[in-house]
Structure formats: C-alpha cells, structure tokens
Structure 1
C-alpha cells in the first residue's frame, strides 16, 4: 500500500475544504433555503413553483437553482418539455434537517409559537417526522424492533414490519435503517429505507394524507386510532 505524501494529503484537504465551502455557499441565501425546504417534501418541483414559494421572480429563481445544482444539492429532471427539480438524495435532506435543528436552537423561538401542524407530523424527505414519528421510534426502541444505534432493524423488527405490510427493499443501496434527529423534537425518528417504507404504508392505508407542495402531514381519524393501537402514539387533541 502506498502512503500519501504530504503534498498529496494537502491537495486532498484543499479539495475537501473547497467542496464543503461550495455546499455552504449554495445554501447561504434565504431564497435558496426556502426552495430546499420546499423540496424536503420529497417530490419534484418546477422552477415556477419554486420561484413562487421563495417569493422571487422566475429569472432570479433560475440563478438560485443553478447555484444549488452547482453545490450538488438538487437535480434537474426533464420530462417532455417540462423540467423538475428535486433534492439529490436523502443525505441532503438529512443535512437540511440537522441545520434546521441547530438554527432552531440558536433562534430560541418561544415554544408557544412553534408551528403546530409541522410539529405534530411532517415529511422529512421520504419519511415521517415530528411528534408522531418520534413516538413511533420510541416505541420501536422499547419493543426492540431496532438496534441500539438505530442503524438496523432487528429480526423482531423485520417480522413486525412484515406483519404490518411494510415492504422493505432488500436491494436498497441506502441505509436500511437510520436514526434521524428530529429538528423540532430534538429526538430521533426513523429514517433510511425502513422509514421510507413505513411512510408509504401509512399513506397507502389511508392513515395519513399529504398535500402536494407542503411538508405537513395530516393524520386521519383511522390513522390516529391505528397509531395508538400499534405504537401507543397519543396525539394532542385525541
């Protein structure tokens, strides 16, 4: 094995520092942050839709989108004559979620002004976040469905997921399971392939509904009953 020489090590360090700076610079604008937060719903948006949510002109939005693409935070997908933008992947969503948590602590907004709909249930890219998701994760920990690090489902967890009809992807290239820090609750919710599969199951059963273009998730009456029965989740207002 050939060890890196000092100049080679310095070049690698320089490249990493430049890459980190590029990502940070891509996010260093309120309009671009609003766009990224909108894309946290896991769906693809048009430039027109993103310009509207950021409250900027379409021409300005194009420049911002170019910077986000240069930072490799978003991808552009073409379908016919239309172009759609989405986050590069779940790792970018995790970065945004963690930054929101840090920012929330620095901002120190009074508890009473926390957006209640976002706090109870929302999407974190392709999995569930918020109070309900944290309660589900806590139940899974106590019932030994996940390992101590939250990095994998136990055999019991796999059996229970199968019983619930949660379809895991055995060929997934992403983390099969992940403890994702919830920015509003400061505790973990379920991410990775297991988290995405759980969200899909909840939606397919009609236990939650999602609104196009928004991160808020509505838990239906049947869903509230199911979450209470399966995961001992008690929602405010139940």
Structure 2
C-alpha cells in the first residue's frame, strides 16, 4: 500500500512538473509570436528542451521558457535529421486526412505508388511536370493533384483552379489550363481553400510549387521526371531523413 502511494505521488509530481513546463513554454512562444497556434509539445532529444509544433513548424524551447532555437536538430551519432523525422510524421498524418474526392486523380497503371502534388496552374515547372503525368501513370504511379495558388485565394490562379475543379471533365480542363489554353470560367462549391490551407501546414509555401509528397510524409521534390520520381519513391525513408 505504501509503495503504491509513493508511486502515485511520484507520478502526480511528474505530471505537475510537465504541466508547469508546458505553461512556461506556451508563454514563451506566444510572447515571441502573439497568436501562435501551438499544436503539440513533446520531449526532445536535447535535455531540458521540448519539441514544439507551432502551426506545422518545429522549434525547440527550454522547459523554463528562457531559450528557443529553430532549425534542423541532428543526431550526429546516427546521422539522422530528427526535425525532419517529426516533419515527415506530421505530413503523413495530414495527408491521410485528405479524402480521394478532394483531388483530381490521374490513375497509375497497376499502381504501385501514390503521390500528392500541390500545383499552381500558372507555375512554369508545374506545367513542365504535368507533361510527365502519362509517364508517371505508365510507371505505376497514381498522381493526386491539389491546388496551391501561389498568389493566394484572390489571385487569377485561384480563379483558374476553381474553373478546372468545376469543369465537367476535370482532367481535361487541368491539362488544357496547364498547356496555356483558355478554359470556360466556372464557379461551384470547391475544395481549393482547403487545399491551400493544407499546403501551408505541409510547408508548400516554403518548398514552392510543384511540391510532391509520398504517402509516408516524405517531400520528394519539385519538378521530377518519371525515372527520378520512381527512384525517390523507392528510396528508404531513413535515407531521406538522414539528409
């Protein structure tokens, strides 16, 4: 009985300490960035520091809230980018929330792989990448397009994305628009805002477009030909997070 009581008190004191640490961390972050959305606070590999997810970006804050650093946290003994590991896990979870009906899909033949591509219709390299979609499909890669109009939700690229989405044949409309051809202006209920907000959480604003993601959360690159995309899809996740 005495041993159980001691264990319970130790557990309570640890929980109280963690709660106090979290409060100090939250106060430090919101003081630095008012209105910051703190998604999670977790232990880090650095003693007395926690890993804090702030709107999809990871920073490291001391438990007393007096020190903060941002950037890749590297495990030199294992040659692993720990920050990228956390980013990959977050991206994987976010991508898993996207319903198939939210994307414009180009189905792979005997598909072995699936990628999500954030695109801007007026982006030159997005158009260049789209020229390889048939090759991707032939290589067994299914491509799901989501929209990320770089000029924002009031831009001409946003209007074009809406028109593509609302077209009777979305694939054809997207291909025509990416070829620089005009398509009929249309308006309907659409997921473009959801695409854009998801892209921000995934870091597309930093990567630029096109941004290609694997289902396991890896960001595979921007413009890629079929051979390069297959190579990166087949590359072990550990090799990517070591960079």
TM-score normalised to structure 1 length: 0.25
Structure having the larger proportion of residues in helix: 1
Structure having the larger proportion of residues in strand: 2
TM-score normalised to structure 2 length: 0.25
